[in-house]
Chains A and B, each alone.
Chain A
Amino acid sequence: MHIPDNFLSPPVWATLDVVSAAGFGVIARHAGRHMEDSRIPLLGVMGAFVFAAQMINFPVGLGTSGHLVGGALMAYALGPSFAAVTMTAILAVQAFVFQDGGVLALGANVFNMAIAGVLAAWLPYQLWGRGRMRKMAVFGGAFLSVMVSATLALTELLISGQRMPSSMLLLSIGLFAVSSLIEGLITVAVLQAIEGLNPSWVNRPERSPRGMLLALAGFAVLLAAAGFMLASTSPDGIEHLVGPTRPKFQAPLADYQLPFWSSNWGRRAVAGIIGLVLIFGLCALSGKLLSRRREAKCTT
């Protein structure tokens, strides 16, 4: 999942570097409100913990073992903004010390795993982490965090001009699903173990109407973003990629050329965006309605 340098084309890695830098700024500021410098040793140590935890084998059958990625676990233990900071630190160390992931590609990896991945884990937890659905929420969140990170990575590769037969794409998505499943199982088990030792170490999702609305809105935006990126590599486009005899499809952002409006792709992307904005609007609206109902209940 860690993308090395030179897999992404310059527009892609440059954009993601800017986006991640800005995103990190926002997150650090949000974390800063709750973080005196006293939190810094904790985040550092937790980062070291995740590193070490990634070494532990979890037997999952067929003689293979899975390993924890940790974004979701961190989100549930530290809260999303601290988790994002910790995961960013981990990615930076992996890039510079272990050559696991590129330097210019750090923005992409941070976006995929520390920002989108953590957010994807946090949102279901925020919505359903209390009550009977808790275990499902944890599992679902961990599942989503790996699924979203990996899918984003793959999409970024495709946009950068990496061509893949559709069979390989499907295989990749299948593998992602398996990894996500494993992450879900491990995260549930480890979170349970941690809670058993000290419940106060696990973050409780806030029961605030505003929190719920933000969660729903964030969820919708995340879906919109992922959807948009996927729309730009939609099935039609994928079919064009198969076989050298077909007319060469220009991967959207390879070699700087952006035949945006003039191409099928451009029009499809716009349609995709409109559709997803509609979905977002729907989610936001329902979120508002939900929160109003909750507020009514809370005034007792």
Chain B
Amino acid sequence: MHHVILERWSQRSSALHARDARAKIIALLGFLIALSTTPSAAQFRIAAYGAVAILAILIGRVPLFGLLLRAGVVLPFSLTFAIISWFMGDHMRAVALVEKTYLSAAAVLTVAGTTPLPALLKGFESLGAPRVLISVIQFLYRYLFVISEQAQHMRIAAACRAGLRKISRRNRFQAAAGALGVLFARSYHRADGIYRAMLARGYNGHIPVAAPARFGAMDAAFAVLALAAFAALRIAPY
């Protein structure tokens, strides 16, 4: 599954993995903003951003082909709208749309593939993201697969009982609704159980906040270098 692959990638080591999450986030935002503000006609610039992205992927020792493949998840969406734009006469926009959306997805994947999610979340929190949101996301991610697995089991169990006789659409609909009701109930109970487990270990109302990792000179250098590079690519006349 996709997230499992991402997790595996993020556990490796490379020059990029070693960078503080905050530096990578800042670099990512710089890249995305530079790319987004680049006019459609500036094909050379867009190609330059592409080169930067590939460079980052290589430095990050992330499987190049695998990443480029996964970035393709945006293509159905962008190709559809590109085709529409093309036939409306916006040829440049159509081409640039496909290029830029793809590069953006690749950039996000590169950061997600070199930064374990807990570290990424802490990075965002240090940069000012609301603590409540970050905490909710942490719990969401923690239980995402547990509950998804439960849903899977319910689907399979229902399929096993489908039998040979054709069940009416209405019955299957109601069965699915009932299954979600049960899944909701189990999720709610689970949340109660988690809360009790937290209380039992002394929880007093504040989830302990991890101390921010040290932002070293290398990280600062990386962020500054990246931003400078993206700015140069964006502004430089050609």
Interface string of A90-120 (1 = CB under 8 A from B): 1011011111101110000000000000000
The answer to whether A128 has its CB under 8 Å from any CB of chain B is: no
The answer to whether A176 has its CB under 8 Å from any CB of chain B is: no
Contact of A52 among B73, B101, B147 (CB under 8 A): B147
Please report which residues of chain B, range 148-197, place their CB below 8 angstroms from some CB of chain A when the two chains form the complex.
148, 150-152, 154-155, 169, 172-174, 176-185, 187-188, 190-191, 194-195
Contact between A161 and B93, CB atoms less than 8 A apart: yes
Bound together, the chains give a CA A197 to CA B147 distance in angstroms of 18
Bound together, the chains give a CA A73 to CA B155 distance in angstroms of 20
Listed residue (B29, B84, B135, B137) with the most chain A CB atoms within 10 angstroms of its CB: B137
The answer to whether B233 has its CB under 8 Å from any CB of chain A is: no
What's the least CB distance linking B81 to chain A, in Å?
6
- Interface residues on chain A, number (Cβ under 8 Å): 74
Contact of B148 among A37, A52, A86 (CB under 8 A): A52
Answer whether A25 and B36 are a contact pair too, CB < 8 Å, given A90-B140, A96-B108, A241-B88. Answer: no
Bound together, the chains give a CA A236 to CA B90 distance in angstroms of 20
Bound together, the chains give a CA A244 to CA B87 distance in angstroms of 9
Contact between B6 and A97, CB atoms less than 8 A apart: yes
Bound together, the chains give a CA A25 to CA B146 distance in angstroms of 30
Which of A42-50, A143-151, A205-213, A279-287 is near enough to bind chain B? Answer: A42-50
Contact of A89 among B90, B137, B176, B182 (CB under 8 A): B137
- Interface residues on chain B, number (Cβ under 8 Å): 80
Inter-chain residue pair count (beta carbon < 8 A)? 243
Contact between B77 and A4, CB atoms less than 8 A apart: yes
What's the least CB distance linking B99 to chain A, in Å?
9
Contact between A103 and B108, CB atoms less than 8 A apart: yes
Residues of chain B within 8 A (CB-CB) of A45 are 139-140, 143, 147, 187-188, 190-191, 194
What's the least CB distance linking A197 to chain B, in Å?
5
Contact between A43 and B85, CB atoms less than 8 A apart: no
The residue on B at minimum CB distance from A97 is B3
Contact between A255 and B39, CB atoms less than 8 A apart: yes
Bound together, the chains give a CA A241 to CA B101 distance in angstroms of 24
Residues of chain A within 8 A (CB-CB) of B73 are 98-100
The answer to whether A217 has its CB under 8 Å from any CB of chain B is: no
Answer whether A92 and B36 are a contact pair too, CB < 8 Å, given A4-B77, A41-B139, A44-B143. Answer: no
Q: Which 5 A-B residue pairs are closest in the complex by CB-CB distance? A: A44-B139, A193-B181, A189-B177, A5-B104, A6-B100
7 A–B contacts, CB within 8 A, in A order? A37-B135, A37-B205, A46-B191, A47-B144, A85-B133, A89-B133, A186-B177
